[in-house]
């Protein structure tokens, strides 16, 4: 297995493997950058088919967190952790406590939080072993509502830029994935008067949105081809690819999913086709903004006000993309890299 030369590695500062025989813990922490502050990023627990897959995932996600925190203007770097194993069958209190001790041994260079396969209740357990966890039940809790609000803000900004409309009344939005983020996003959109088209692999999730918000149910295969203004991917990564891009009828792509572009060239292809892409890590930064502000003790209302900053940031990216005739995904990367090159020095005492 090659690591240092792989494109996912991208100059990670540190990659640490951890294990604990008694609890069965096997984990990898990727610390991509601490230039702007301690590396902040969730812990994903997943039944990876191989260690190579787990390593690839942690590297990709950790690098993404560096860019996400930098563009969001947070005094944090980027990191991520993966625990190898099925969370439904392998996650025990002992395993979580062993993981907490492992995180603590890193001395604050990495701060963990909830992600796929881990919960707010898990963070409460980690807290018993380390100061370097965030997102507790008596703190910022589940970051999904803040993420949904950020995506809603991103959609409003993109609609205004692309369609010249300041309100969402009658704007058609195709939402893929009605999970934690997708459901709250649908609620915001419905309240704003948008017309919803929704899909999920779980029919009951779709039924709820159809019932509550008058959404139209769409099959998972047909969601890309819906005659909508906005396509909002809120389920999986790599959904913008050679196969789906041909089907897209929306003129805006803005959603919560991480790593929406299968490859960077798909961002360029969206641009070439005149489809405005709100770069994923800019649009979905609400959750990390929420977690990063936990220690400040801000109210949810104040955090959502900060999350609204995603709007002006995106606007800046859209305008620069137009001016420089450059895809939005490239402009967002440049913005992040500019902020990283400036460093920050504002190390937060964790």
Catalytic machinery residues: 80
* Shortest separation between residue 144's beta carbon and ligand NAD, angstroms: 4
In angstroms, rounded to a whole number, what is the distance separating the alpha carbons of residues 166 and 323?
22
- Residue of 230, 257, 275, 321 that binds ligand NAD (CB under 6 A): 257
Distances (CA, A) of 119 to 21, 237, 243, 344: 23, 20, 34, 31
Distances (CA, A) of 243 to 176, 266, 267, 329: 16, 11, 14, 20
- Is the CB of 27 or the CB of 198 nearer to ligand NAD? 198
In angstroms, rounded to a whole number, what is the distance separating the alpha carbons of residues 80 and 259?
14
In angstroms, rounded to a whole number, what is the distance separating the alpha carbons of residues 148 and 150?
5
* Shortest separation between residue 238's beta carbon and ligand NAD, angstroms: 10
User: Is residue 153 part of the contact set for ligand NAD (CB under 6 A)?
Assistant: no
User: Is residue 180 part of the contact set for ligand NAD (CB under 6 A)?
Assistant: yes
- Is the CB of 45 or the CB of 98 nearer to ligand NAD? 45
- Is the CB of 236 or the CB of 319 nearer to ligand NAD? 236
- Residue of 3, 52, 121, 236 that binds ligand NAD (CB under 6 A): 236
* Shortest separation between residue 23's beta carbon and ligand NAD, angstroms: 25
- Is the CB of 177 or the CB of 327 nearer to ligand NAD? 177
Strand residues in the chain grouped as ranges (E): 14-20, 25-33, 39-40, 43-46, 77-84, 110-111, 172-176, 195-199, 216-217, 230-233, 252-253, 276-277
DSSP string of 77-131, one letter each residue: EEEEEEEES-HHHH--HHHHHHHHHHHHHTTTSEEB-B-TT--HHHHHHHTTT-S
Give the x/- contact pattern for ligand NAD in 80-119, rule: CB under 6 A: ----------------------------------------
User: Is residue 140 part of the contact set for ligand NAD (CB under 6 A)?
Assistant: no
What backbone torsions phi and psi does residue 268 show, to the nearest 5 degrees?
A: -70, -35
**Nearest-CB residue for ligand NAD:** 179
Touching ligand NAD, residues 237-256 (CB under 6 A): 256
Touching ligand NAD, residues 314-343 (CB under 6 A): none
Binding-site ranges for ligand NAD (CB under 6 A): 143-144, 147, 176-182, 199-202, 205, 220, 234-236, 256-258, 284, 287
């Amino acid at each position: 297995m090659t690591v240092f030369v792989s494109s996912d590695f991208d100059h990670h500062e540190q990659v640490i493997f951890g294990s604990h025989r008694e609890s069965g813990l096997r984990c990898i922490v990727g610390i991509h950058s601490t230039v702007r502050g301690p590396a902040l990023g969730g812990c994903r627990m997943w039944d990876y088919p191989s260690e190579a897959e787990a390593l690839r995932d942690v590297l990709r996600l950790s690098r993404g967190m560096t860019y996400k925190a930098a563009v969001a203007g947070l005094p944090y770097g980027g990191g991520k952790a993966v625990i190898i194993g099925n969370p439904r069958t392998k996650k025990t209190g002992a395993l979580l406590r062993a993981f907490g001790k492992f995180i603590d041994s890193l001395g604050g260079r990495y701060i963990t939080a909830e992600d796929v396969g881990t919960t707010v209740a898990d963070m409460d357990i980690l807290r018993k072993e380390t100061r370097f966890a965030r997102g507790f039940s008596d703190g910022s809790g589940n970051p999904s509502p803040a993420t949904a609000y950020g995506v809603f803000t991103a959609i409003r900004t993109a609609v205004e830029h692309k369609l010249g409309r300041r309100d969402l009344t009658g704007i058609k939005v195709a939402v893929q994935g009605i999970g934690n983020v997708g459901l709250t996003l649908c609620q915001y959109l419905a309240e704003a008067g948008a017309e919803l088209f929704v899909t999920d692999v779980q029919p009951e999730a779709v039924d709820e949105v159809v019932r509550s918000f008058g959404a139209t149910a769409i099959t998972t295969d047909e969601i890309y081809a819906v005659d909508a203004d906005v396509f909002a991917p809120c389920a999986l990564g790599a959904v913008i690819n050679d196969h789906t891009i041909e089907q897209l009828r929306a003129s805006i792509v803005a959603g919560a999913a991480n790593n929406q572009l299968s490859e960077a060239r798909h961002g360029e292809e969206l641009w070439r086709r005149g489809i405005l892409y709100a770069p994923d890590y800019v649009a979905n930064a609400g959750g990390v903004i929420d977690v990063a502000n936990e220690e400040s003790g801000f109210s949810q209302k104040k955090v959502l006000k900060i999350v609204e900053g995603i709007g002006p940031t995106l606007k800046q990216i859209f305008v620069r993309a137009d001016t420089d005739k450059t895809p939005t995904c490239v402009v967002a990367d440049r913005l992040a890299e500019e902020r990283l090159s400036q460093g920050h020095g504002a190390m937060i005492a964790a």
